[in-house]
Amino acid sequence: MARNNAIQEWVCLSKTFNFNVKSIYFVKDFGAYHMKYYLIIGILLVLSGCKTEDESPASNEIDWVAVRSEDQVVLSASWENPTYLSISELGWIESIHASPDGTKLWYMFYPGKDLASDARTGEFVDDTDIYTSIQESDGDFKFQGILITPSIASEDKTSASGTMVDEDGNIWYNSNHEGLITGDFENENIYRNNELLNFNEVMANYGNPHYCKAKDELWFDRKLDSEIAILKNAAANDFSGTPVLAPAPINSTNEVVQDNQAWLSKDGNTLYFTSNRHKIGEFFDGPGIFKSIRMPDDSWTEPELVITSRVAVGDACLNEVEDRLFYVQHFEKDNQFRTGVFYVTLK
């Protein structure tokens, strides 16, 4: 089981529902369960009032089909037909990434149904690993495939997340694997094909890498997943150098906003990312999915809200022709939580 000192301690500084996401912090790190999940699960824990496990009804008393039907996403005018995928029933899924043709998914998988509640109690059933699923003849994704990186991502002392597979088949992800050498499992670095990239820093906490070959840019999250950074001329410089902050309006100038999970089109000119900028100060201020277009002068258009829900959505990824958008939605009922993997289609 990959977690620091066997128990993760959660500290809730506010039990009010009008809260700043920065009022949640975490004393111990759960392996490579990356900071973006800290944001989302922190939100879920505050919304539940930081209750103990004994105050919650058994999860088998909750009709999750009904919960999903009551918490439908709100879509921009370009998208329609949210479709629920059966792999959601296998466990807690995050960090999804789609193949160019949209028929294969990679994702972070936790075999427990409710990672948010397990993190609250410190009782984990296993670590997080990377799995694959392939679309079946009926269009659904039901089959849970094998681990894709057996030498690092499948061993049980550390965890892996933030998977991205580029057009040349290179596998990118973040992991706290260096903790096996340093003894510090709280920091995470970015890997490509099981190799630690040169730009990583000893005390870094990076996640959710996305490499764009057309622009030779490596986009990733940093600073507790509060901002998106870019390593420019990445491959040309052997993945060394100093990353820069993605410019506004991609990163918000509001310090309480969390921006993360960048996904770029093959040409690097369309960006989808996760942000809670649209919900600051609201009862539920979990993130939604935004879209921005790169202009000829390398500036970006004002982000457009694409998907939002009552609790949280994120992990946007598309097929190469960009007519199918996959995402993860978080659901809550009576202090219990689930994730669901969906896709929507372009009108």
pLDDT value of position 148 = 55
Q: Per-domain residue ranges for the chain?
A: 4-346
Q: What is the mean pLDDT of the chain?
A: 81
Q: Is the pLDDT of residue 25 over 70?
A: no
Better-scored residue on pLDDT, 109 or 129? 109
Which tens digit of pLDDT belongs to each residue from 237-273? 999 999 999 999 999 998 889 999 999 999 999 999 9
Q: Is the pLDDT of residue 343 over 80?
A: yes
Better-scored residue on pLDDT, 149 or 133? 133
Place 57 in a pLDDT band, splitting at 50, 70 and 90. very low
Q: Is the pLDDT of residue 193 over 80?
A: yes
Pair of tokens at residue 13: 């500084």
Which tens digit of pLDDT belongs to each residue from 70-109? 999 999 999 999 999 999 999 999 999 999 999 999 998 8
Give the HSE-up count for residue 160: Cα atoms under 13 Å, Cβ half-sphere.
29
pLDDT value of position 156 = 59
Place 27 in a pLDDT band, splitting at 50, 70 and 90. very low
pLDDT value of position 106 = 93
pLDDT value of position 286 = 81
pLDDT value of position 273 = 97
Mean pLDDT (whole number) for 196-214: 89
Better-scored residue on pLDDT, 17 or 48? 48
Better-scored residue on pLDDT, 48 or 274? 274
pLDDT value of position 105 = 95
Share of the chain above pLDDT 70, in %: 77
Mean pLDDT (whole number) for 223-228: 86
Pair of tokens at residue 15: 């039990």
CATH domain 4-346 topology: Neuraminidase (2.120.10)
Which tens digit of pLDDT belongs to each residue from 7-21? 222 222 222 222 222
